[in-house]
A and B are shown apart, each in its own frame.
Chain A
Amino acid sequence: MILHDQDSEPELIRRSCDGDSFAFQTLADRITEPLYRCALTLCRDHQLAHDLVQETLFETWRSLRRFDGRCQFSTWLYGILRHRYLKAIRRRSLPRVEWPTDDAKSSPHSSSDPTRDLQRADDAAQVRQAVAMLPEEHRQVIELRFFADASLDDIAVTLGIPLGTVKSRLHNGLEKLRHQKLSVNLFVTSTESSARQP
């Protein structure tokens, strides 16, 4: 059977429930990276994040028929991931590591200008460092939203907190980052930017 990327998620889920492993492989290919980023945000350990993703996808394949469609498929997956994560941290203490430093060549925003790429990589590293300095509860929400592209519902399920709490933590985290940026006067005001333009 030939599957195309434009196959809708509900259709792929239905086929997977019928035992179509190709359909589930397509689903897994789509969700693996966001899941890995989410796992990395939670556990801060690359090897454990990899294991968590593997276990989550395996568990999803086994219990896919229990998915009743009352929530988004990704939200359901994040729930399984959280469950696996909680089981994992009961077994061992986790080391705290930082997100990988961008090589200027491997950065998704790389351009043809190496100097500009280096500057951009440096800025990105500073932003990640600023995020890492945030309190744990704010850091997790910010990373899940901006580094893992998780929706607010996904974040709520992943962290096991109410949606309102996710919103307030996201707001507080962004406000802290804004104040940090204000303190070093990195903002370019609209009047300045309009004055710079010819």
Chain B
Amino acid sequence: MNDSSTPNSSSPCESRAEDISLLAASCLTTLEADDLRCHFATCAACRQRFEQLQSVCSDLRTAKPAIEVSRWNMNEVNRDVPPATRRQRAMPAVVIAGVLVLLSALLNVSRRLEVDVPHQDIEVAHEPTSMDSDIKLVPLPQPQQPTWLALRQAAAVSDEALDRLMAQTSVPMFSEPFNAQPLWQEPLP
């Protein structure tokens, strides 16, 4: 406690003056109010000032004018301004996030396909055009090849069965790499 707030019965402590006013106006915390009330126990001048200010504040509270306030109508506002909710505000972000996730998933899938499937040189059949219309094109029969399963089964039975199966094929399988014939080609002279 400083010197100016030393209890004095003749004149109130000036350092406490503002706090006394705030206490009378109910603007102090409980701790501050308790501290000040302890001071009142030893300082009659401050106590008297507090009582007078309390009376003033009581008068002011009693003099609070009665007013009539028209109720604010929410429905009128609703008609004018549709409320933008958080959900509505977040909707574009959710859509964008969804599109990004979908794109990333597609990219992953395409990368995996590139890794798993080796590049093959595939000859694309040449579509006949109007310029080629005078040339007679003959589609060639597809060479017949036994499946690996059929070859395995034949090998499991006997060597003769495997030889018979190999003999049925029109294209040699293991001598030269298989070159796919173009679907459309000029007829042989």
Contact = CB atoms under 8 A, between A and B. Distances in A.
Contacts of B77: 21, 58, 61
B25 A145 contact: yes
B86 A174 contact: no
Given A127-B59, A128-B65, A170 B25 contact: yes
B72 A175 contact: no
Contacts of B78: 21
Given A145-B25, A190-B51, A108 B64 contact: yes
Interface in A15-68: 17-19, 21-22, 24-25, 28-29, 32-33, 36-37, 40, 50, 53-54, 57-58, 61-62, 65
Interface residues of A, number: 58
Nearest to A58: B77
Contacts of A24: 74
Contacts of A103: 66
Interface residues of B, number: 40
By Cβ-Cβ distance, the 7 closest A-B pairs, closest first, are: A19-B85, A127-B63, A124-B63, A171-B21, A146-B60, A25-B74, A19-B83
Interface of A: 17-19, 21-22, 24-25, 28-29, 32-33, 36-37, 40, 50, 53-54, 57-58, 61-62, 65, 99-103, 106-109, 120, 123-125, 127-128, 131, 142, 145-147, 151-152, 167-168, 170-171, 174-175, 177-178, 181-182, 187-190
